[in-house]
A and B are shown apart, each in its own frame.
Chain A
Amino acid sequence: NAGVTQTPKFQVLKTGQSMTLQCAQDMNHEYMSWYRQDPGMGLRLIHYSVGAGITDQGEVPNGYNVSRSTTEDFPLRLLSAAPSQTSVYFCASSYSRGLTDTQYFGPGTRLTVL
C-alpha cells in the first residue's frame, strides 16, 4: 500500500491564483480530512469527509473547497490564494472516522502565496 499520497510537495502561487491540492489513499478508508500547520498555531482542521459524497467544514474552512466523488480521492481547492494561506497542508485518513483507530497522514504540501 502507498498509504496517503499528496501532490504536489511544493507549490508557489501568486495572490489571486487558484489551485488544487491532491490527496489519495489506497486503504479503503471512509474518513478523510485536511489540516493546515502553521508555526505557533499547530495543526487545524480545514474540511473533512465521512464518505463519498459527504463533506463538512472544520475549524478554518474559509477560502477552501472540497469534494469527495470517490472513496480514494479528496482534493482541496484554493479558490483565490491569499498570503494568509501560506502553510503546510496535510491530508489524513482513517477507517472508522478516527473514533477507534488511528489516522494516517500524508507527507504534506508546502504552499507559499506571494
Chain B
Amino acid sequence: KQEVTQIPAALSVPEGENLVLNCSFTDSAIYNLQWFRQDPGKGLTSLLLIQSSQREQTSGRLNASLDKSSGRSTLYIAASQPGDSATYLCAVTPMIYNQGGKLIFGQGTELSVKP
C-alpha cells in the first residue's frame, strides 16, 4: 500500500532563509508527484507537478525534485518570505489506479516564516 510521509511536521524559519521540505513515498510506481500549498481555512493550490519521467520542476523561488528510485522528493524554497507561511502537502498518483488520478497525500509540513 502506497504511503506518503512528510518530515518535519512543522518548521519555523526567519525571513530570507532558504529551506527544504521533504516527502517520501513507499512505492515507486507513480504517474506523478505534486506539491500543494494550503492556507488556513482554505483549499489546496497546486505549486508544482513532476511527471515520473522528470527529475525536477521549477517555478519562481520554488524548485521540486523527484528521485523515484529512492522514493523521495524535496521542495526547495529560496529566500523565504512571511507570505510563504502555509501548510505544504505532497501527493503522488499511484499507477495502479488506471481509472483515474487518485492522489495519496502526506500529512503536510506547516511552515512559518518569521519577519
Contacts and interface: CB of A to CB of B under 8 A. Distances in A.
Interface of A: 4, 31, 33, 35, 40, 42-45, 48-50, 56, 58-59, 90, 92, 94, 97-108
Question: Which interface residue of A40, A50, A98, A107 has the most chain B CB atoms within 10 A?
Answer: A98
Given A43-B105, A103-B34, 14 more contacts: A33-B102, A42-B105, A42-B107, A50-B99, A50-B100, A58-B102, A94-B101, A98-B93, A98-B102, A102-B34, A102-B46, A105-B44, A106-B43, A108-B42
Contact of A107 (B32, B43, B51): B43
Interface size bracket, B side: 20 to 34
Contacts of B107: 40, 42
A81 to B, nearest CB: 22
